[in-house]
Amino acid sequence: MKNHRVSPIYIGLWIILCTAVSVSLIKHLYDISQVYRRVQTIEEKNEVVQRENAEKKKKIDESKTPFVREQMIRDELGMQKPNEKIVQIIQTPELAPSQSPTVIAQQKISLWDKISLVFSKIRGFFSRR
């Protein structure tokens, strides 16, 4: 019988190949576990959102008048009618020369002051025309 002796080069190449395959498999298993964790967190978030939506839908269905339903749909869900634009008006009081913006931010403006400011702006708008 012949004595088959394997060259150290073949053994080295075989070890390198096995190591590369092992590292690749471990990396893929790690990536799969990361994706699985991400899927679990997304599913948990989805369940929470589904529960919140079900609660909001139940509130809307239980409301008595169409006005209350529409108000809840607009406020809680942020929905609007087709071709409708929502405009949010932010009023800023006019600054006196001695006041700085930081002082104005610390002052509370009453509801009456806000209403009178809006009407004064409307009056000024129509008086210019």
Alpha helices, H only, 63-100:
66-77
Question: Whole-angstrom Cα distance, residue 16 to residue 19?
Answer: 5
**Per-residue pLDDT reduced to its tens digit, 36-81:** 999 999 999 999 999 988 888 887 777 777 777 777 777 777 677 7
Question: Whole-angstrom Cα distance, residue 7 to residue 15?
Answer: 13
Question: Whole-angstrom Cα distance, residue 21 to residue 27?
Answer: 10
- Interhelix angle 8-62/66-77, rounded to 10 degrees, is 150
Question: Whole-angstrom Cα distance, residue 40 to residue 34?
Answer: 10
Question: Whole-angstrom Cα distance, residue 52 to residue 25?
Answer: 41
In this predicted structure, what is the pLDDT of residue 88?
A: 66
> Torsion-angle region of residue 106: left (phi > 0), alpha (psi -120 to 50) or beta?
alpha
In this predicted structure, what is the pLDDT of residue 48?
A: 93
Model-wide pTM > 0.85: no
**Per-residue pLDDT reduced to its tens digit, 104-122:** 444 566 777 778 777 777 7
**Does the pLDDT at position 102 exceed 60?**
no
In this predicted structure, what is the pLDDT of residue 83?
A: 74
First to last CA, the chain: 115
pLDDT band at 96 (very low <50, low <70, confident <90, very high): low
In this predicted structure, what is the pLDDT of residue 104?
A: 45
Q: What is the mean pLDDT of residues 96-109?
A: 52
In this predicted structure, what is the pLDDT of residue 103?
A: 46
In this predicted structure, what is the pLDDT of residue 120?
A: 79
